[in-house]
Amino acid sequence: MDTKHKNYGKKISDRFVKQLVDSAISSAGSFNHPDGLKTIFSLLDLTTLNTTDTEKKIRSLCENINQCPSRFPEIPNVAAICVYPSLVSCVRDVLAVPHVRIASVAGGFPSSQTFLKIKLAEIELAIENGAEEIDVVISVGKFLESNVPAVEKELKEIRRVVQKYPLKIILETGALSSHENIYRASMLAMQSGADFIKTSTGKFQPAATIEAVGVMCTAISDYFSATGKRVGIKPSGGISSSSEALPFLAIVVNTLGSEWITPSLFRFGASRLANHLLSDIESLRTGKKIEIAFF
């Protein structure tokens, strides 16, 4: 594969995607045990991106994350907390546990319909305030009108401003309408400097689907074969239960291998999922139905 080819074309058949999905669904149950669910918990970008978010809410969320090692000593903590740029400094001031990173959506989230200068300024401000990871949305409108050079130029400018920090590029797969578009957008994002490719903002339906993640994993595998560079994957949007999360874990293992099952290469963007995982881990451990509302 010539990764410099700007069309990034590849035929992705419905049959091929169905095979990926069927295999993931059939093998998902093999991860439905406490260790499998603990792994998913450790891959969480615990996310709150609501219009009603307040500093009080973010402080409470961070304080709960701080308590995780003492409350749940057998469970690795979440990978990151993800908030709007204006709330990054609140996370920076309250978060007190090691290895949990501060992530922020920036650059005109969620629509990406603003000026590039504003996107870059928002990213710079998020980093100045303490963000250690940046999630941005591609210019979906430009992509859909086949203005690939403009999208690529913008993403490379964003990559330059993000500098050393992990960059997660959101494809908004529910708006892309075809497997081929999802594959092309994945390759474009990776060629432009993505450290992760991410399904969706959670503000557009459909959000994360197992089919889209299968196509994205295929693109990551092809890109790795061509370049030797491992790029991460982040399903995000609408994954709220353990049973919904397990097939995503399975499709990443099946397509990319167990090497990808680490926070440096795999994240789940979610909020409600955290409590469900904690409840299900304890229920599997004790054999009793237990509800935990920690976050």
Residue 186 forms part of a structural domain: yes
The pLDDT of residue 10: 87
Residue 291 forms part of a structural domain: no
Residue 293 forms part of a structural domain: no
* Predicted TM-score (pTM) of this structure: 0.96
- Residues carrying an active site annotation: 135, 198, 234
Block means of pLDDT (10 residues each) for the chain, 295 residues, are 54 96 98 98 98 98 98 98 98 97 98 98 98 98 96 98 98 97 98 98 96 98 97 97 98 98 98 97 95 95
Q: What domain range includes position 44?
A: 14-286
Determine contact, residues 233/260, Cβ cutoff 8 Å.
yes
The pLDDT of residue 148: 95
Contacts of 262 (CB under 8 A, 6+ apart): none
Residue 8 forms part of a structural domain: no
CATH of the domain at 71: 3.20.20.70
The total number of structural domains that make up the chain: 1
Residue 218 forms part of a structural domain: yes
| Beta-carbon count within 10 A of 70 CB | 7
Residue 278 forms part of a structural domain: yes
